[in-house]
């Protein structure tokens, strides 16, 4: 069984775009695929060219992010990483917060 499940917020080295540099950022687990995770990255700013969903500390049922302002879940494109790239778990989103995320039909 996986250590991470849908709704967990983790820290991992993630590259959001093909041209962007990989950096350590939070992300929401949306699916586990064997030893890989499918994630929506989280950013302090909303995407200007893709869908994003606001995220606040009130959206967590446990843990949270070390932020005072809202962040944004970048739902325009899921990112696939190996579980070995996860640096830690920051918390878990509530059911209502997960319900507003788009349903993913495939990687």
Q: In the chain, what are the domains? A: 8-94 (2.30.30.110)
Please say if the pLDDT value at position 107 is more than 60: no
Q: Which residue has the higher pLDDT, 7 or 45?
A: 7
Helical segments of 1-107, H only:
95-99
Instruction: With CA atoms as reference, report the closest residue to 30 among 87, 98, 76, 91.
Output: 98
Confidence (pTM)? 0.87
pLDDT in tens, 13-67: 998 777 778 889 999 999 999 999 999 999 988 888 888 899 998 999 999 887 7
pLDDT score of 46: 86
Q: Where are the beta strands (DSSP E) in the chain?
A: 8-14, 23-33, 36-43, 52-55, 60-63, 71-74, 79-82, 86-93
What does each C-alpha distance from 28 to 44, 45, 76 come to in angstroms? 14, 16, 13
């Amino acid at each position: 069984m996986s250590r991470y499940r849908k709704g967990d917020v983790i820290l991992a080295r993630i590259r959001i775009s093909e041209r962007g540099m990989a950096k350590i950022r939070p992300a929401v687990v949306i699916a586990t695929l064997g030893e890989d995770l499918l994630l929506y990255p989280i950013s302090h700013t909303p995407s200007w060219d893709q869908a994003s969903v606001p995220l606040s500390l009130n959206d967590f049922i446990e843990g949270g992010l070390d932020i005072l302002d809202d962040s944004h879940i970048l739902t325009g494109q899921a990112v696939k990483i190996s579980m070995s790239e996860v640096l830690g778990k920051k918390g878990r989103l509530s059911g209502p917060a997960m319900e507003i995320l788009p349903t993913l039909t495939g990687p």
